[in-house]
Chain A
Amino acid sequence: DSGVTQTPKHLITATGQRVTLRCSPRSGDLSVYWYQQSLDQGLQFLIQYYNGEERAKGNILERFSAQQFPDLHSELNLSSLELGDSALYFCASSALYNEQFFGPGTRLTVL
């Protein structure tokens, strides 16, 4: 158990819908990272937050957004969902540098 929690574990929704994925980092970790894992793209970095501020941005679509709250939990919002958005979404947390610890993931299925 990494100490990172993610909810929900599974999510099934329809195209065009909007969903919110939630992540709670390990106690004391200020950084939260979001990754997307699909069969053909591997693990792709989406975005990083550090203590409530956006720190780095990767291959995140404009339809996706994230935020980190004062209690350090983070939410990833996915809107106007398309079939291709079906994937595993992982949250990771770390202290300031390196050693990212991953949560169990949320499996999103868009029908």
Chain B
Amino acid sequence: QQQVKQSPQSLIVQKGGISIINCAYENTAFDYFPWYQQFPGKGPALLIAIRPDVSEKKEGRFTISFNKSAKQFSLHIMDSQPGDSATYFCAAGLNTGNQFYFGTGTSLTVIP
């Protein structure tokens, strides 16, 4: 059973456009929602994270929107750049500090 569902599987965006990746979860006990960026041949790198007590968090061009009632959260990449081309994973975790449940990933390609 996939605890975190991520869409789309792949995304192509023009340079300067907005990239939007969506995730949904089932377990209402989750209380930490990170996004990771992974380049080919590299490990996932923490991009931005949110806790359910806020509805939005912004860091530079990256914004997480969180809808607790719908059990959904999304990553928005503003002014997308070719250097943003990577695979993005959402995840959900518990405050016990144990495992993360990862989405299946979104391959983002930003066309110059």
Contacts and interface: CB of A to CB of B under 8 A. Distances in A.
Interface stretch (A65-73, A74-82, A98-106): A98-106
Contacts of B102: 42-44
A45 B43 contact: no
Given A42-B104, A42-B105, A101 B97 contact: no
B49 A56 contact: no
Q: How large is the interface on B (under 10, 10 to 19, 20 to 34, 35 or more residues)?
A: 20 to 34
A42 to B, nearest CB: 5
Interface string B79-96: 000000000010001011
- For the residues of A in contact with B, the DSSP-based class is strand
A90 B46 contact: no
Given A42-B104, A42-B105, A43-B89, A102 B98 contact: no
Interface of B: 32, 34, 36, 42-46, 49, 89, 93, 95-105
Interface of A: 2, 4, 31, 33, 42-45, 48, 50, 55-56, 58, 90, 94, 96-105
B45 A102 contact: yes
B98 A55 contact: yes
A42 B96 CA distance: 23
B59 to A, nearest CB: 14
B90 to A, nearest CB: 11
A102 B34 CA distance: 13
Contacts of B89: 42-43
